[in-house]
């Protein structure tokens, strides 16, 4: 009963906030989107372009970034630029923010979305891989936030951190990835508290995503999932709306993620067993 009451209230709040979302809110806003050469990041770039925002996108593959920039300009972006390189390099993370300052003189939204290569299998014991993944998926997010905070304080801007259900609950076969996503929750939830205590008008939205049908995710996990992923286009739009509305957290797809989190705190063993049973574990081959 408690779960259904909380869900009903949450649904109502979500419905009202999304119904009143004015697309013009993002016209002319200056936005950095990381990991935007493919998948959800690419779709976020297109939505922001349609809304008339300035976008600066990042990833490693220059040819793909060039195509996304061209499409953004066709769709109506106020301006579109890219920087390529690997986020293992903290200097790149800082340079991207410097580039935004040089291009626009400020920043309104920082969308942290990129991830390094992720396997879906039993943990193989490779500690060095975890160190590298923490650099890409976590430390570069922190480095970009540190560099961007002065500009975001000035504009009263927002930070959007793209995370996962694997950053809130224990999901098998993604131990290194899960560690990096839990780290994001710890860091950014703590930082959010400090910003509020200091009356600093910068919002932090943590986006908790379930399975989304991107090319990478389908290649990595579709043989184990029992249901298809949610659409990446809709997911991208929900992330942008949540950030613009300065929500604390986004759950997408809403019902499945929200209910999992509610069960987590009351019956963790039950959730663990539900999670295991929702996967075709027999299709995971020990490497
Ligand atoms: P994609 O694999 O489609 O996109 C990842 C992006 O990151 C690409 O642009 C890629 O470009 C870039 N990237 C990869 N390695 C690096 C690197 N070393 N340095 C800089 N950029 C890099 O991922 P999704 O769209 O599926 O996921 C986006 C976000 O959503 C991630 O944070 C993910 O954890 C989260 N999420 C996704 C889910 C899903 O089911 N799809 C579920 C839950 C969360 P390039 O290779 O050119 O560098």
Structure-token pair, residue 221: 């996990």
Q: Which of 46, 82, 141, 177 is catalytic?
A: 177
Q: How far apart are CA 283 and CA 280, in angstroms?
A: 6
Give the count of alpha carbons within 13 A of 209, CB side only.
Answer: 25
* Ligand 1 center from residue 138 Cα (angstroms): 13
pLDDT of residue 6: 56
Q: Which residue has the tokens 């008008």?
A: 201
pLDDT digits (tens, 9 = 90+) for 87-134: 999 999 999 999 999 999 999 999 999 999 999 999 999 999 999 999
- 8 A C-beta contact, residue 203 and residue 159: yes
Of the chain, the end-to-end C-alpha distance in Å amounts to 44
| 214 pocket-lining for ligand 1 (C-beta < 6 Å) | yes
- Which runs of consecutive H residues, i.e. helices, occur in the chain? 2-19, 39-50, 62-75, 90-104, 127-134, 140-155, 175-197, 215-221, 232-244, 254-266, 268-277
| 217 pocket-lining for ligand 1 (C-beta < 6 Å) | yes
Cβ neighbors of 108 (< 8 A, separation 6 or more) are: 29, 30, 31, 152, 155, 157, 158
pLDDT of residue 15: 62
| 61 pocket-lining for ligand 1 (C-beta < 6 Å) | yes
Q: Respond yes or no: is residue 177 known to be catalytic.
A: yes
| Global ipTM | 0.99
Three-class SS of residue 222? Answer: coil
State pTM to two decimals: 0.94
């Amino acid at each position: 009963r408690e779960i259904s009451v909380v869900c009903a209230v949450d649904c109502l709040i979500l419905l009202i906030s999304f119904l009143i979302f004015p697309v013009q809110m993002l016209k002319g806003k200056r936005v950095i989107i990381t990991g935007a050469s493919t998948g959800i990041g690419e779709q976020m770039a297109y939505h922001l372009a349609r809304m008339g925002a300035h976008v600066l996108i990042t990833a490693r593959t220059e040819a793909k970034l060039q195509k996304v920039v061209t499409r953004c300009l066709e769709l109506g972006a106020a301006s579109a630029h890219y920087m390529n390189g690997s986020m293992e390099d903290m200097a790149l993370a800082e340079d991207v923010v410097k580039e935004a300052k040089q291009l626009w003189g400020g920043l309104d939204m920082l969308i942290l979305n990129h991830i390094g290569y992720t396997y879906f299998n039993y943990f193989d014991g490779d500690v060095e891989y975890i160190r590298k993944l923490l650099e890409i998926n976590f430390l570069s997010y922190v480095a970009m936030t540190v560099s961007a905070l002065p500009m975001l304080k000035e504009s009263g801007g927002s930070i959007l951190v793209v995370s996962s259900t694997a950053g809130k609950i224990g999901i098998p076969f993604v131990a290194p990835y899960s560690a990096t996503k839990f780290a994001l929750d710890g860091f950014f939830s703590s930082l959010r508290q400090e910003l509020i205590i200091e009356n600093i008008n910068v919002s932090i939205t943590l986006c908790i995503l379930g399975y989304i049908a991107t090319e990478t995710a389908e290649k990595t996990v579709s043989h184990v999932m029992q249901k298809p992923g949610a659409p990446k286009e809709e997911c991208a739009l929900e992330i942008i709306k949540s950030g613009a509305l300065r929500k604390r957290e986004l759950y997408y797809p809403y019902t499945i993620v929200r209910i999992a989190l509610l069960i987590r705190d009351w019956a963790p063993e039950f959730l663990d067993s539900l999670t295991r049973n929702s996967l075709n574990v027999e299709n995971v081959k020990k490497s």
